[in-house]
Structure formats: C-alpha cells, structure tokens
C-alpha cells in the first residue's frame, strides 16, 4: 500500500469528528489541537546529522503543524527508540530539551523502546496545543481567495543538497535544513482570518494541490512571485529551474494561507522578521493546481514534492513529510 492508500483505509476507521476526516494536519478535540509526526533516519534526517539537530527538528516539525492551526503549544509526548549509542542518544535529548525550552513546550510523557543494533533510528512526538476560537483547516479555501506564503521556500532542500555533496558542508542553508523554525506567532495572527491554512512540509506545489483538493477549488500559483531567500539565490540563483527546485523540495515549514481577496496580509501585525508574499489565487473549477510564469501557463513538473512511496521507489531520500498528508 502506498501512503494515499493507507490514509484512505484509515479514514474508514477515524470517523470521530475530532479527526476532521484525516484531511488536515491535526485533530481538534475538546479545545485541544493534537498532531503527531515521526522522523526516521535516512528518510527525514541524514545519519551524519548532529544528533542534537535531530532532536530539535523532531520538536520543530510538530510545532509547525500547531502553527498552521493557530494553536498555542501546551505539551508534548515523546516516543524514543534507543539505538545503543549512549552519547548519540544523550545529544538527541539535548536537542529536544533546547527546542522545548525555546518554544515553552512542556514535555509531559511518552515512551521508550530499544532497537536491535544498527537499526535505523526512528522517533515520534505528539504535540498538544490550545485551540484558539477558530482553527483553520485545509478545506476552507474559497474561489476568489488570495493565496499567501509566509516564510521562504527552498532553503532546507538546498542545505540538504549541499550535505549530500559534502557531509561536512555548513552555512545558513544547512542550518535551516537541520533546525527549522516553526512560525507559531504568525500562525496565531493569521488563524482568525484565514479561510484555509496549512504548513508547507512536503513541497509548496504538492501541499498547494492538497489544499486545492480539500477546498474543492483550483489553485493557480505564479512561480515568479514565490519568495526565495538571499542565501538561496546566492547559491542557486533565481531562474525558473531554481524556483521549481525550491517549490518542490519540501522541508520548508513555511505557512500557506488562503485569505479573503480584500485582505492585504502584508499590512497585518506579524513578527518583524516575517516575510510574506501573495503567490496565487483560488478559482472556481475542478480541484487542481495550475502554475504560471511570466503571465503564461507552465507545465507542472513530474514530481510536485516528497511522497513516501513515490520517493522511496526511486531511491530518493527527501524531505520530511507531513504527518497526515
């Protein structure tokens, strides 16, 4: 079974309203937002990544799902597989501790197991958030909405590419890949206004298509308006090929929001370092993703982002994936 087939099967089981039909990144139960992400060695992180960065990433990717729901972090449960390397495990926990301290996330429980020697490491974390008055999902987008991207894309995929070429690589892009920053404050500010919102974890194009399908609208993205960081452009440029690489790379943990057309999100009171850009529009029609550049239609790339079975079949170990995509 591939990932889509597994989720389809689970949807027949997860019938409680809190599950939101498994069409969103998180469940909403009795005023709480609940999400769970797992990460596995050589799937979501490299075996050569510093263990503290792996611990940080595990916390951060779960908090990114809370950010997309506008939730305030309330607690976490950790699932840790012990690999027999005591020093590695200790450094991993240091990364978890630093991330929890940075985002005021109390660790309140979990589970530990021991793996056979040389088994790939696998970790999981359940993040619990306090729901605001409104919790946006992927399905609320409406024809006429403008599509906004909060943050930049491509940096983590670029850092991963550098590390694959040279495991000793360092710099801004590598650091962004290893230590993503969840946009919690931005999510809380946008949640009351967004018709639909999700984080970008598997690739901008793939996640935008998921929003289109969930919302029952076509989404059109102008590739030329997709924001890239200065560090990315300095290393890879800003031409069409570079932009397609960024838009399909994944591991970004930016936010994607469908907002009313009359709202200029650039005027909102967001954290001072926030980068936000209008990148497209939701339109009537068959749920699909359309791409333009220089005002003309652009063929979609063969791969829109990272999907478990698809990328593994090609022996392509890519970026982390959303827990409920």
Q: What is the pLDDT of residue 307?
A: 67
Residue 17 is predicted with a pLDDT of 87
pTM of the model: 0.90
Contact predicate 94/53, CB 8 Å = no
- Rounded Cα distance between 238 and 232, Å, is 8
- pLDDT, the chain, mean: 91
| Whole-angstrom distance, CA of residue 130 vs CA of residue 274 | 23
The pLDDT tens digits of the residues spanning 53-65 come to 999 999 999 999 9
Q: How many CB atoms lie within 10 A of CB 308?
A: 16
Higher pLDDT, 132 or 309: 132
Query: pLDDT-based confidence at 186, cuts 50/70/90?
Result: very high
Of 38-52, 143-157, 277-291, 311-325, the poorest mean pLDDT is in: 311-325
Q: What is the arithmetic mean of pLDDT over 287-302?
A: 94
Report d(CA 88, CA 108) in Å as an integer.
22
Q: Which residues of 104-140 are buried (b: 16+ CB within 10 A; e: fewer)?
A: ebebeeeeeeeeeeeeebbbbbbbbbebbeebbbbbb
Residue 203 per-residue DSSP state: -
Residue 316 has pLDDT above 80, yes or no: no
How confident is the model over 304-325, as a mean pLDDT? 49
First to last CA, the chain: 15
State the pLDDT at residue 6. 83
Domains in the chain, CATH or no CATH each: 3-130 (3.30.1330.10), 146-313 (3.90.650.10)
Q: How confident is the model at residue 313 (pLDDT cuts 50, 70, 90)?
A: very low
């Amino acid at each position: 079974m591939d990932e889509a087939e597994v989720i389809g099967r689970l949807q027949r089981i997860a019938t409680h309203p809190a599950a939101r039909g498994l069409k969103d990144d998180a469940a909403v139960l009795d005023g709480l937002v609940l999400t769970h992400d797992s990460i596995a060695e050589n799937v979501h992180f490299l075996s050569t990544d510093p263990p503290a960065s792996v611990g940080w990433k595990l916390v951060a990717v779960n908090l990114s799902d809370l950010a997309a729901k506008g939730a305030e972090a309330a607690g976490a449960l950790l699932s840790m597989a012990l690999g027999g390397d005591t020093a590695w495990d200790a450094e991993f926990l240091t990364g978890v501790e630093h991330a929890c301290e940075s985002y005021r996330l109390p660790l309140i429980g979990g589970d530990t197991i021991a793996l056979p020697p040389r088994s790939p490491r696998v970790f999981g974390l359940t993040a619990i958030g306090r729901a605001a008055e409104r919790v946006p999902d992927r399905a609320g987008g409406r024809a006429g909405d403008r599509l906004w991207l909060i943050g930049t894309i491509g940096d983590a995929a670029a850092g991963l590419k550098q590390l694959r070429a040279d495991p000793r690589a360092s710099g801004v892009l590598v650091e962004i890949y290893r230590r993503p920053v969840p946009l919690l404050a931005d999510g809380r500010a946008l949640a009351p206004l967004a018709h639909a919102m999700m984080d970008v974890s598997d690739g901008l194009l793939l996640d935008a298509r998921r929003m289109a399908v969930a919302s029952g609208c076509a989404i059109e993205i102008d590739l030329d308006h997709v924001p890239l960081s200065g560090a990315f452009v300095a290393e890879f440029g800003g031409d069409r090929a570079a932009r397609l690489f960024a838009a399909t790379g994944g591991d970004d943990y930016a936010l994607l929001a469908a907002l009313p057309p009359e709202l200029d999100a650039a005027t909102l009171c967001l954290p001072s370092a926030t980068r936000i850009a209008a990148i497209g529009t939701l339109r009537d029609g068959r749920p699909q993703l359309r791409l333009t550049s220089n005002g003309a239609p652009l063929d979609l790339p063969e791969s829109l982002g990272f999907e478990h079975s698809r990328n593994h079949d090609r022996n392509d170990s890519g970026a982390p994936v959303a827990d409920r995509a």
